[in-house]
């Protein structure tokens, strides 16, 4: 009987343990999410956060992360790839990056319009997209003057300067985009290139490099999971709150089910033992 009771209790314990994982994971939503983009052409670097080596041999055009970090201010230094510490061979920084709880950020190592190495911190828009829409974010982080972004020959972004961005909410599609000098339509400085706009995602395009050195290029970052919640949420709750409530109810229900399963296992085992006697 003890072995059967133990088996029933173990089954319930496994379900309770399964419940505990999502609930404990939800506590991590207070962390900030930090991605890093390397937009300085021709230089392989190391990235140090609070003096610790975080990204080793980081190559141009690469997007890394996101890193989950507790809210706070972090000192980020970018060094040559052969540096032994955050203070040796510094290329950019150290720069203090303030990260708020639950925020989503991208730190970009890039060139100023004048061609000097620098770093910029962008806050990513992770609000829910409208039903049937995706989000396209264009960021100018290149050593180049103001630019326009063309789609289908027409400017969808105008007069964008370094280090700024413009956000578009669009129907899902693959957009053939070109970057040109502001107020012109040709020649293309970058592209044309196909950029996918996906429902429920924020596709972030970085123009980086140097116009004078003929190293202009693009890097792309995608943030998924921004879909609008389904209709039918009870009044008085936002979509986020309703989803959170539904999730808690689901895990609570599973936890109760686990306890019932454990009790049922013990009861069945007890009855079988009594019948054998």
Note the Cα 119 to chain centre separation in Å. 18
Q: What is the mean predicted confidence (pLDDT) over 144-172?
A: 96
Residues 120 and 49 in one domain: yes
**What pLDDT is attached to residue 17?**
30
Task: Check pLDDT > 90 for residue 14.
Answer: no
Q: Which one of 124, 155, 179 terminates a domain?
A: 124
Tokens describing residue 223: 């943030």
Question: Given this model, what pLDDT does residue 230 score?
Answer: 62
* Same structural domain, 14 and 60: no
* 16 and 38 within one domain: no
> Does 113 reside within a domain?
yes
In a domain, 131, yes or no: no
For residue 60, the enclosing domain spans: 31-124
Q: Are residues 76 and 101 in the same domain?
A: yes
Q: Mean pLDDT, the chain, as a whole number?
A: 80
Short-list 105, 97, 117, CA closest to 67 = 105
Supply the angle between the helices 239-276 and 2-26 in degrees, to the nearest 10. Answer: 170
Question: Of 42-46, 193-197, 255-259, which range is least confident?
Answer: 255-259
For residue 228, what pLDDT is reported?
80
H or E element in which residue 37 lies: strand 32-38
Residue 191 banded pLDDT, cuts 50, 70, 90: very high
Residue 10 counted as domain residue: yes
C-alpha separations of 265 from 13, 62, 167, 193, 251 in Å? 12, 54, 56, 61, 21
Strand ranges (E), 127-269: 134-143, 147-151, 154-160, 165-170, 173-181, 190-197, 202-210, 217-223
Nearest to 58 by CA among 41, 46, 66: 46
Q: Are residues 110 and 74 in the same domain?
A: yes
208 inside domain: no
Mean pLDDT of 249-273: 40
Measured distance between the N- and C-terminal CA atoms of the chain, rounded to whole angstroms: 11
pLDDT for 135-145, tens place per residue?
Answer: 999 999 999 99
The phi, psi pair for 125, rounded to 5°, reads: -80, 105
118 shares a domain with 41: yes
For residue 32, give both structure tokens. Answer: 């900030």
Residue 152 pLDDT grade (very low, low, confident, very high; cuts 50, 70, 90)? confident
Shared-domain flag, residues 39 and 105? yes
Q: Is 4 exposed, middle or buried (0-12, 13-18, 19+ CB in 10 A)?
A: middle
10 and 59 housed in the same domain: no
Q: Degrees (nearest 5) of the Cα angle 84, 85, 86?
A: 145
Q: Among 124, 153, 187, which residue terminates a domain? A: 124
Which residue did the predictor score with more confidence, 80 or 271? 80
Residue 14 lies in a domain: yes
pLDDT tens for each residue of 66-120: 999 999 999 999 999 999 999 999 999 999 999 999 999 999 999 999 999 999 9
Phi, psi (degrees; rounded to nearest 5) at 195? -120, 115
Looking at per-residue pLDDT, the higher value among 158 and 239 belongs to 158
Give the other-Cβ count within 10 Å of 243's Cβ: 14
- CA gap 155, 180 in Å, rounded: 9
171 occurs within a structural domain:
no
106 plus 66 within the same structural domain? yes
Q: How, if at all, do strands 104-111 and 190-197 pair?
A: unpaired
Q: Is the pLDDT of residue 161 over 50?
A: yes
- Judge if 11 and 41 occupy the same domain: no
SS3 8: helix
More confident call, 34 vs 21 = 34
Looking at the 3D structure of the chain, how many domains does it have?
2
Average pLDDT of span 262-274: 42
For residue 63, being part of any structural domain is answered with yes
Q: Is residue 172 part of a domain?
A: no
Which two structure tokens, joined as six digits, stand for 147?
A: 């630019």
Share of the chain above pLDDT 90, in %: 70
Of the two residues 227 and 259, the one the predictor is more confident about is 227
- Of the residues 75, 98, 124, which one is the last residue of a structural domain? 124
Q: Are 190 and 216 in contact (CB under 8 A)?
A: yes
């Amino acid at each position: 009987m003890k072995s059967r009771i133990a088996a029933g209790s173990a089954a319930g314990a496994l379900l309770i343990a399964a419940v505990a994982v999502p609930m404990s994971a939800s506590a991590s939503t207070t962390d900030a999410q930090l991605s890093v983009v390397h937009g300085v052409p021709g230089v392989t670097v190391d990235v140090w956060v609070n003096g610790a080596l975080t990204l080793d041999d980081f190559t141009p055009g690469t997007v890394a992360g996101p890193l989950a970090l507790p809210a706070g201010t972090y000192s980020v230094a970018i060094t040559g790839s052969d540096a032994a510490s955050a203070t040796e061979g510094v290329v950019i920084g150290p720069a203090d990056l303030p990260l708020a709880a639950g925020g989503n950020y991208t730190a970009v190592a890039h060139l100023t319009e004048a061609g000097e190495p620098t770093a910029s911190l962008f806050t990513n828009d992770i609000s829910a997209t409208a039903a049937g829409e995706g989000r396209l974010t264009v960021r100018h982080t290149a050593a180049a003057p103001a630019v326009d972004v063309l789609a289908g020959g027409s400017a969808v972004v105008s007069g964008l300067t370094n280090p700024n961005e413009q956000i578009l909410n669009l129907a899902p599609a693959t957009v053939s985009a070109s970057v040109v000098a502001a107020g012109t339509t040709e020649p293309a400085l970058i592209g044309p290139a196909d950029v996918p706009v996906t429902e429920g995602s924020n596709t972030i395009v970085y123009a980086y490099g140097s116009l004078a050195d003929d190293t202009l290029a693009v890097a792309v970052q995608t943030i998924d999971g921004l879909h609008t919640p389904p209709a039918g949420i009870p009044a008085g709750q936002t979509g986020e709150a309703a989803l959170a409530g539904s999730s808690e109810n689901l895990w609570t229900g599973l936890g109760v089910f686990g306890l019932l399963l454990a009790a049922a296992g013990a009861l069945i085992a007890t009855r079988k033992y009594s019948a054998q006697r």
